[in-house]
Structure 1
Amino acid sequence: MTRNTRLVILLAAVVLLGAFGTGAVLHARQQSGLRDQQQADGPAVRSGTVSLRPSGGRRLLIRNLAWGPHRDEIASVPAGRPQGPRTASGVKCLRFHAAAGTGICLQAVHGTLGDSYRAVVLDAHLRERRHFPAAGIPTRARVSPSGHLVAWTVFVSGDSYAGTAFSTRTAVVDTRTWAFDDNLESFRLVKDGHPYRAADINVWGVTFADDNRFYATVATGGQTYLVRGDLTARTLTTLHRNVECPSLSPDGTRIAYKKRVRGASPDAPWRLYVLDLRTMKETATAERRDIDDQALWADGSTLVYALPGDYGSDLWTVPADGTGTARRLMASAVAPAYLG
């Protein structure tokens, strides 16, 4: 090979490498511009300090689903301005809830052999206090009003409540002593006034009344039940049929829940209802779409819940008394918690 030939080959290689580099840079800029545009089309999100302590008025914390570098981080907005800019914490969670300076964050742990999951108890500054292994895919999380108890539910098998081929595991931790009940199925079940045992019992969707009493869903024999739980007695007592993912009102008198309704699609079977615990009267809310979420009481009269949105989920509100209409509260958000 002559010297001139080698020079021609070298020049050609340089030109090709330059073209490739230019193309890569342009592609990166294009992708960056696309990401910026997608973020610009949604809510503004910025890094900052997020606390679980009262500060400067009532706030709403959510898992942020807006596209961009802060996706999946716990973020905060003023409760009165849910569409306003979000302050992102840097802490990523799949499920989240908080009360009285305590948070529960269900996280994925990415490994070479696949993902595992853990439940992380957070302090008021969103720093880890302690973590526990979670046996499957996170689906529900709650903190008691005092902040002393946390609970979470995971799918051990399956990934949806719509069918019957799933198994759940629900755990409760006392953050004062770190006493850990890793499976509420070990509690004694009293069904229709009688002790009951079965191999197909599943428990999910805890909502706390205080530091001992709670409500949850029990499924067995093809039916779901609202149960009242007692941590000291280690009992679950059925109260009402066809109740899933209960949420106790601030005054402790009503349960918001998703109910399977006749004639609905098996893939979208639920509607949002409220149960009066004194009279056991059911009230259908004005939300007529399928609800697969554990609703949250924003106050004594308004429910907040997630529905599918462009970037995963949006949060919606509806009056709890059956009046009014459903309205979108904020886009690209899930797992709400009100503080202050």
Structure 2
Amino acid sequence: MPDPAPASPTRRTLAFGVVVLLCLTALATYLLVQRSRDAAAAEAAADREAATSRLQVEDVLEVPHLVVRNTAPGPSFGKVALIPLDDPTGPRAIVDVACDRISATPSGALCLQQVTGMLTTYRAVFLDEQLREVGAAEVGGVPSRARVSAGGSWGASTVFVSGHAYTDAQFSTETLITDLTTRTSLGNLETWTTVRDGEEITAVDRNYWGVSFIGDGPGFYATLGTGDRIFLVKGDVGTRTMEVVGTEGGCPSVSPDGRTVVYKEVDPESRNEHFVAAGLAEGDLDGRPAVPLGEGRLVDDQVAWLDDDTVLYAVGRGVSSSVDFDVWSSPVDGGAPTLLIPDAASPSVVIPEG
């Protein structure tokens, strides 16, 4: 029998077109179903939020309270929330300001914000004591850390210029310190002078992040990353200098009384990080062995302080750990951590003056 005649180009083109049409139809159907599910989920979250009891912002501002980033699903996701300190799991007030990171004091707050549009941009937003915007400045990338000194004189911001995590091989940061009185930037810490054992560090790969002020400054602690190692540095805003303090670790946070610094110590073998608390004397490490905190999970956060003996930090939850967070507390003496605030991140404790 003669071999069957090959399919004509026209038939092959028609068959290919049918396959493409079926694929496009399947994709369109999937997208419509997914869009419908997303809309239903958003509507359900909005309904739950509408039924949630809310406090008034002006009322909460008058009492000791927590300032957090709200991560509860719904229209207020990502906005600033105020929660009375004596009822951290109770109702909250919502401020109509969205922040990816926020640090607050009685005199105001520093909010790091992603602005989504045709082009995504990033801002450091300055808020007054009523958490109203009073100024803003562009920053160079994805928000990571924010911290305000105790008296509100200085603010520090860290963003990722490249990469999205400190574990990324090629991450690069921009860490700025700002005079909050004049809202004037003192520049990227990479332009300041850093010394180790009397020698200036000039490595081109150095990155800085996680500033924590000692009281209201001008002293501060921060993290220096260079090569495959990270170090604590102690700096001075007035002289724009920093010095490596000899401890391999990062993301320091100084207690309100200035007697303790909690940071992430690096295990020399596994290279994993875990929180430890070290003593300070006159702002310097006092040489006593650091005490491991009871938190055993890997936590990507810089702790804040509930009081002189207890730290706060956000922990991602479940499969949505990049968006769903809870705030946990942990005593610096090594006690067990406790869930303090559900559906929240980036906590600050604010005790109103007067």
Normalising to structure 2: TM-score of the pair? Answer: 0.80
Answer whether contact 1:76 1:87 (CA < 8 A) is retained: yes
| Secondary structure in structure 2 of the residue aligned to 1:290 | coil
| Secondary structure in structure 1 of the residue aligned to 2:57 | coil
Answer whether contact 2:295 2:336 (CA < 8 A) is retained: yes
AA partner of residue 331 (structure 2):
P
Q: Distance in 2 between matches of 1:339 and 1:129?
A: 19
* 1:226 aligns with one of 232, 247, 256: 232
AA partner of residue 126 (structure 1):
L
* 1:273 aligns with one of 272, 276, 279: 276
Answer whether contact 2:67 2:350 (CA < 8 A) is retained: yes
Q: Which runs of 5+ in 2 are unaligned?
A: 1-35, 280-284
Runs of 4+ in 1 over 4 A off after TM superposition: 26-33, 36-40, 50-53
Residue 241 of structure 1 and its aligned partner are, at CA, apart by: 2.4
* 2:184 aligns with one of 165, 179, 184: 179
Residue 254 of structure 1 and its aligned partner are, at CA, apart by: 1.6
* 2:244 aligns with one of 238, 244, 261: 238
Alignment of 1:188-207 (within 5 A): 188-207=193-212
Matched length: 306
Q: Distance in 1 between matches of 2:224 and 2:340?
A: 30
Answer whether contact 1:52 1:98 (CA < 8 A) is retained: no
CA 1:280–1:233: 2 relative to 1, 3 Å = farther
The residue number in structure 2 matching 1:302 is 310
Answer whether contact 1:173 1:180 (CA < 8 A) is retained: yes
Identity, in percent, stands at 36
The residue number in structure 1 matching 2:149 is 144
Q: Distance in 2 between matches of 1:46 and 1:167?
A: 40
Report whether the alignment pairs 1:77 with 2:80: no
The residue number in structure 1 matching 2:324 is 312
Answer whether contact 2:60 2:84 (CA < 8 A) is retained: no
AA partner of residue 94 (structure 1):
D
Answer whether contact 2:264 2:273 (CA < 8 A) is retained: yes
| Secondary structure in structure 2 of the residue aligned to 1:35 | helix
Q: Distance in 2 between matches of 1:96 and 1:177?
A: 19
Residue 32 of structure 1 and its aligned partner are, at CA, apart by: 6.3
Residue 47 of structure 1 and its aligned partner are, at CA, apart by: 6.6
Answer whether contact 2:305 2:348 (CA < 8 A) is retained: no
CA 1:51–1:154: 2 relative to 1, 3 Å = farther
* 2:117 aligns with one of 111, 123, 129: 111
| Secondary structure in structure 2 of the residue aligned to 1:111 | coil
| Secondary structure in structure 1 of the residue aligned to 2:146 | strand
RMSD across aligned positions (CA): 2.4
Question: Bigger shift: 134-143 or 310-319?
Answer: 310-319
Q: Distance in 2 between matches of 1:164 and 1:122?
A: 34
Q: Distance in 2 between matches of 1:162 and 1:252?
A: 29
Q: Distance in 1 between matches of 2:192 and 2:60?
A: 32
Residue 148 of structure 1 and its aligned partner are, at CA, apart by: 1.2
Answer whether contact 2:304 2:311 (CA < 8 A) is retained: yes
Report whether the alignment pairs 1:128 with 2:133: yes
Residue 34 of structure 1 and its aligned partner are, at CA, apart by: 2.8
Answer whether contact 2:60 2:93 (CA < 8 A) is retained: no
Answer whether contact 1:50 1:76 (CA < 8 A) is retained: no
AA partner of residue 329 (structure 2):
T
| Secondary structure in structure 1 of the residue aligned to 2:245 | strand
Residue 111 of structure 1 and its aligned partner are, at CA, apart by: 2.1
Residue 204 of structure 1 and its aligned partner are, at CA, apart by: 0.6
Q: Distance in 2 between matches of 1:28 and 1:49?
A: 30
Residue 182 of structure 1 and its aligned partner are, at CA, apart by: 2.7
